[in-house]
Structure 1
Amino acid sequence: MATFVLIHGAGDVGWYWHLVEAELRAHGHRTVAPDLPCDDDTAGLADYADAVVAAAGDHRDLIVVGQSLGGFVAPLVAARLPVDQLVLVAPMIPAPGEAPADHWTNTGYEPAGEFDDLFYQDVAPDLVAEATKRGRRQSETRLGEPSPLRAWPDVPTRVLLCRDDRLLPPDFVRRVARERLGVTPDEIDGGHTPALSHPRELAAYLMS
């Protein structure tokens, strides 16, 4: 059985993955979903990766999953641990040395609205309320620093887009995945936060 290392996105916590974790564990898999130090103004991407590596501990048979901004963290983790597969979900896909703050300009991103209005577009109201209560401030103090990523890790990589995502729309993710990784994304229904809106479908994809 695999150990799924689940990395949340900006201003979030590991709780984001709790419904997916339940599905994965019900099928005998192990899960690790740490909180990143995203509200710490002294923390950069390397510190985010440190938190994930520490949480993964001595687990093996690792599948590292990065959601949204977690796409910047996941390859850093995959470069440091014996990872079997890397999965990016509704992701920002970094180029080596790219700062997260520069990603939007570098990829020609055109926002479809205010970010806060696009995260939970298809999530049940009770989960939105809980996610909002648990969410944390996303520090931008060090998001302008170049990523320590020097080359994409030599790990099989999949990209999963969400067909209804208004924050990172399908056409945008398809283009960036093709240009930066040379891969065609897989697809599921749902908006930007499928671990809350479509957890069974997302878990089934990860187990596939």
Structure 2
Amino acid sequence: MSTYVLLPGAASDHRHWRLVVPGLRAHGHDVITPDLPCEDDSAGFEEYADVVVAAVRGYGDLVVVAQSMAGFTAPIVATRVPVARIVLVNAMVPVAGESGGQWWETSGLRPVRRAKELRAGRDPDREFDPVEIFLHDVPEELREEPLGQSDTPFAKPWPLQRWPDVPTTAVASTGDRLFPVEFQRELLRERLGITPVEIAGGHLPALANPDGLVRTLL
């Protein structure tokens, strides 16, 4: 059996995975949901990886699942401990020297997202609404106030020279309004040479489509 290490995205913690954990454990897998130091201004992606490495000590056959911004952290973890597989879920995929802040421009996201918003009849220049972008398909009872998110990870360059030599797969949500699925397909093709498995849902499938995400992870 595997040990699934579930990493949340920005301004989130272990609660993000509460509907996914039972499904994985029901199949006999171990599950670890470390809380990353998202509110700590002294912590960048290397410090996030420190927390994960400490949490997985003593476990084997690690499958590191990275939601959104955790795409910067998962590969760092894979250079420090043996990892069987990385699974990206609507994730940011960095290249050498790219910071989390730079990624929004260098990844090519903005023009694709703008075109998608226009096609959907939404004003791309409107004020950012987290409910509309992140939570539009998440049941209200599962919506919680986000944690604080330090800007430090967005300022520091990604420290690796290349993606680690670890089998990597990806899950992309067809209804993601933050990272449109057509953007994810191209990003994953260009940067990792892989094609994502597509599932229903928005940016947060662990909350909006947990059964579909569990089936895909398994």
- When the two structures are superposed, what TM-score results if normalisation uses the length of structure 2? 0.90
Q: Tell me the residue number matched to 1:109.
A: 109
The 5-angstrom pairing of residues 3-152 of structure 1 reads 3-110=3-110, 111=113, 112=117, 114=128, 116-117=130-131, 118-128=133-143, 131-132=144-145, 135-152=146-163
The 5-angstrom pairing of residues 160-175 of structure 1 reads 160-175=171-186
SS at match of 1:83: coil
Instruction: Give the drift of 1:184.
Output: 1.1
- State the alpha-carbon separation in 2 of the partners of residues 79 and 89 from structure 1: 20
Instruction: Give the drift of 1:97.
Output: 2.0
Q: Is the 8 A contact 1:42 1:142 kept in 2?
A: no
Instruction: Give the drift of 1:115.
Output: 5.9
Q: Is the 8 A contact 2:100 2:153 kept in 1?
A: no
- State the alpha-carbon separation in 2 of the partners of residues 147 and 94 from structure 1: 7
Percent identical pairs in the alignment equals 47
Q: Is the 8 A contact 1:161 1:173 kept in 2?
A: yes
Q: Tell me the residue number matched to 2:169.
A: 158
Instruction: Give the drift of 1:116.
Output: 1.6
Instruction: Give the drift of 1:141.
Output: 3.1
1:176 partner amino acid? L
- When the two structures are superposed, what TM-score results if normalisation uses the length of structure 1? 0.94
- Higher Cα Rg: structure 1 or 2? 2
Aligned residues: 203
Alignment RMSD (CA, Å) = 1.2
Q: Tell me the residue number matched to 1:193.
A: 204
- State the alpha-carbon separation in 2 of the partners of residues 50 and 115 from structure 1: 32
SS at match of 2:201: coil
